[in-house]
């Protein structure tokens, strides 16, 4: 047997006993990060190279620290991003919204589509769009200085074609120079109401930045309302918007994009677990 694989099995059992949702994956990812290999290469690590820091990482994960904060990296679509305290860890659910955004961009008869990512955090959305839509020009907006710094590092590392421009600004007032010119606005804004505090997983509420979680207002949707107003200002006639929300807020977000404000084709869209996850709309041309 391989010593590292034995230790991974022990860590898996500890995580399972503690009720972790993905004990084997967590143990393997921690081991891979400590030893500088991929999860598929763990069996290649010789016994003599076993690094005892693995158990320090395991203890931190057991204490509730997010896996991505321990390893310093998060995977999103085809990207490996630098993350850590002070920046929201991107979630797999958001990948579905990005997939819709890319399909929409590819269907546009626009040579160099202009995209705005409002509340970019780690820049996961902006960088994925830039990577998978090579002709797009992406403006990423983030108001928190700590998250902005993380985004800047990720953009420096991963934006090989120089498509992403990062702005330190509030999504409610950002990019006035682009009013009426943007083809697509996409956003994963804060949307959790404070009344849901007790129901938010501990590793999320204790470690993800508060500004990226709590959306404001009794329903948690004040930030979404700000996105709607900004999208209405930024988009050209016929441009599209996509906004993420919780699986319980689809109806509320749907009605924020009201027809009397010029929105058309408003739709709730579902994630891979078949739950409402984001709303899309088109700005009318009439």
Question: What would the pLDDT profile of 195-230 be if each residue is shown by its tens digit?
Answer: 665 555 666 676 777 676 657 777 889 999 999 999
Q: Between 210 and 137, whose confidence is greater?
A: 137
pLDDT given at position 118: 98
Chain centre to alpha carbon of residue 89? 6
**Does 198 appear as a known binding residue?**
no
Quick check: helix, strand or coil at residue 193?
coil
Beta carbons of 47 and 99 less than 8 angstroms apart: no
pLDDT given at position 191: 73
Beta carbons of 205 and 197 less than 8 angstroms apart: yes
**Does 191 appear as a known binding residue?**
yes
The arithmetic mean of pLDDT across residues 162-176, rounded, is 97
Kindly give the pairing relationship between strand 137-142 and strand 164-168: parallel
Query: Within 10 Å of residue 137's Cβ, how many Cβ atoms?
Result: 18
The residue annotated as part of the active site, out of 76, 88, 257, 278, is 88
Nearest to 2 by CA among 60, 44, 63: 44
Name the residue with tokens 């998060």. Answer: 74
Q: Is 50 a catalytic residue?
A: no
The torsion of the CA quartet 284, 264, 130, 250, rounded to 10 degrees, works out to 150
Nearest to 135 by CA among 94, 97, 183, 176: 183
**Does 65 appear as a known binding residue?**
no
Beta carbons of 220 and 214 less than 8 angstroms apart: yes
Quick check: helix, strand or coil at residue 282?
strand
Q: Is 88 a catalytic residue?
A: yes
- Return the CA Rg of the chain: 20
Residue 40 DSSP code: G
Q: Is 92 a catalytic residue?
A: no
Is the torsion defined by CA of 227, 228, 234, 238 positive or negative? positive
**Does 112 appear as a known binding residue?**
no
Least confident segment among 81-85, 109-113, 124-128, 227-231:
81-85
Least confident segment among 59-68, 71-80, 200-209:
200-209
**Does 188 appear as a known binding residue?**
yes
Nearest to 226 by CA among 125, 166, 141: 141
Kindly give the pairing relationship between strand 276-283 and strand 263-270: antiparallel
Question: What would the pLDDT profile of 233-266 be if each residue is shown by its tens digit?
Answer: 999 999 999 999 988 788 889 999 999 999 999 9
The residue annotated as part of the active site, out of 23, 90, 189, 193, is 189
pLDDT averaged over every residue in the chain: 91
The Cα–Cα gap between 284 and 286 comes to 6
Alpha helices in 73-189 (DSSP H): 92-106, 124-132, 145-158
Q: What angle in degrees, to the nearest 10, is found between the helix axes of 53-62 and 3-18?
A: 10
Q: What percent of the chain has pLDDT over 90?
A: 72
The residue annotated as part of the active site, out of 23, 188, 193, 278, is 188
Q: What angle in degrees, to the nearest 10, is found between the helix axes of 23-35 and 3-18?
A: 140
Question: What would the pLDDT profile of 268-277 be if each residue is shown by its tens digit?
Answer: 999 888 888 9
């Amino acid at each position: 047997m391989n010593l590292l694989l034995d230790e991974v099995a022990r860590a898996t059992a500890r995580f399972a006993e503690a009720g972790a949702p993905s004990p084997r994956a967590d143990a393997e990812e921690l081991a891979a990060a400590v030893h500088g290999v991929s999860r598929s290469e763990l069996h290649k690590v010789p016994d003599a190279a076993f690094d005892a820091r693995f158990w320090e990482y395991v203890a931190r994960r057991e204490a509730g620290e997010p896996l991505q904060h321990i390893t310093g990296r998060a995977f999103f679509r085809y990207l490996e991003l630098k993350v850590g305290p002070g920046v929201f860890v991107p979630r797999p659910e958001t990948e579905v919204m990005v997939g819709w955004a890319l399909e929409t961009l590819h269907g546009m008869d626009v040579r160099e589509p202009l995209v705005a990512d409002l509340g970019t955090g780690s820049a996961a959305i902006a960088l994925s769009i830039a990577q998978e839509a090579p002709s797009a020009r992406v403006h990423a907006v983030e108001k928190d200085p700590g998250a902005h710094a993380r985004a800047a590092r990720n953009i420096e590392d991963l934006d090989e074609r120089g498509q992403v421009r990062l702005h330190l600004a509030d999504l409610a007032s950002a990019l006035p120079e682009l009013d009426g010119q943007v083809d697509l606005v996409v956003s994963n804004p804060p949307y959790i109401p404070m009344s849901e505090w007790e129901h938010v997983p501990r590793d999320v509420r204790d470690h993800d930045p508060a500004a990226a979680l709590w959306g404001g207002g009794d329903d948690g949707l004040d930030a979404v309302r700000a996105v709607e107003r900004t999208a209405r200002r930024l988009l050209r006639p016929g441009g599209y918007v996509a906004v993420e929300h919780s699986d319980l807020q689809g109806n509320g977000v749907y009605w924020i994009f009201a027809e009397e404000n010029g929105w058309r084709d408003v739709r709730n869209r579902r994630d891979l677990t078949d739950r409402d996850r984001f709303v899309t709309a088109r700005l009318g041309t009439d």
